[in-house]
Amino acid sequence: MAYGFAGRALVGALAAVMMAVPFSFSAKAQGEVNVYSYRQPFLIEPLLDAFTKETGIETNVIFAGKGLVERMVAEGANSPADVLLTVDIGRLRGAVDKDVSQPVQSAVLEKNIPAKYRGKNDEWFGLTLRSRVVYASKERVDQDSITYEELADPKWRGRICIRDGQHPYNVALFASIIAHHGEDAAKEWLAGLKENLARKPSGNDRAQVKAIYAGECDIGIGNTYYMGKMLTNEKEPEQKEWAKSVKILFPNADGRGSHVNVSGMVMAKHAPNPENAKKLMEFLSSEKAQQLYAQLNYEYPVKPGVEVSDLVASWGELNPDDLTLTEIAELRKRASELVDEVGFNEGPSS
């Protein structure tokens, strides 16, 4: 089954299933590159616009919240996808493990992206970093530092909010705890965190900030860039008020460092436009694109020397955990199992 693309302007909606979308352009036409993106349009379109302006290469994009890797598997050699953009090391490794990616040899990518944020065979590439931090009430939390380990301390009983324990962002964090302390200690920690929850895990990262603002809990766990998006949200200005009620604490900042994850990319195994795909990937790692990621998305650039935005800088300096993403990816399955073993998503026992 072959699919073409109708052009970026016509396929922007988030959707889980879009297998039957009819496309009018050939995926093998010159001067274009086809992108499958798990990342939302407002995060990616400014970067693609800048790429087209610089190179003249048109981009066609399918956005979806899930199912893109499965779609690439189903499409096989007829897939029109050139580049997959996603978040989370688990999804990057998932694309590799399902054999829908191919290694890319590029001196530009090697120069721009440190080795610890690339697959060992250059089969995936990180583009930005985000840290999984603690959102803390400015009114009800006096301390200005914290550790992940401390989240299981009974002093936080009934005071913590978090999203679904099986969400990839949390699974990666829990995997990092396994890496540092071993399975038994990680399970005990996770059970302690569960008992400290104010409610069953629910909502997204923004919902945790809203819950703190509403007084439902005192601290939450979420990714850094959501705070930037909330503090500058003109369409939903109430989010500014939510965000102003909390402060960011970087866990383990004075020790081993805060857990970080990546957004990233792979070149599709059957990319019909591999040269253009490579140009797009190199562009996204360039100083210009990395600055856009920093200024528009409030993420941490992976390219050395590119500064974070002033807003992100105001939160303090990020000291990233030195754990390799490969190690975290290998422990994700066990971390997911621990979530179920302790009944994390059932919330506190009393």
Q: How many other CB atoms sit within 10 Å of the CB of residue 4? A: 18
Q: Cα(57)–Cα(49) distance, rounded to whole angstroms?
A: 10
Q: Cα(186)–Cα(337) distance, rounded to whole angstroms?
A: 12
Token pair recorded at residue 314: 């105001």
Contacts of 286 (CB under 8 A, 6+ apart): 108, 112, 303
Is 38 flagged in the annotation as binding? Answer: no
Token match 């805060």: residue? 258
Q: Cα(311)–Cα(334) distance, rounded to whole angstroms?
A: 36
Token pair recorded at residue 87: 């978040």
SS3 call for 291 = helix
What residues are paired with 258 via a beta bridge?
320
Phi/psi of residue 127, nearest 5 degrees:
-115, -40
Q: Cα(13)–Cα(314) distance, rounded to whole angstroms?
A: 33
Is 169 flagged in the annotation as binding? Answer: no
- Number of separate helices (H) and strands (E) present in the chain: 13, 10
Q: Cα(28)–Cα(34) distance, rounded to whole angstroms?
A: 9
Burial 193-226 (b: 16+ CB within 10 A, else e): bbbbbbeebebebbbbbbbbbeeebbbbbbbbbb
Residue type present at position 188: E
Residue type present at position 165: G
Q: How many other CB atoms sit within 10 Å of the CB of residue 340? A: 12
Question: Nearest Cα to 218, choosing from 142, 163, 159?
Answer: 159
Binding site members for Fe cation:
225-226
Binding site members:
225-226
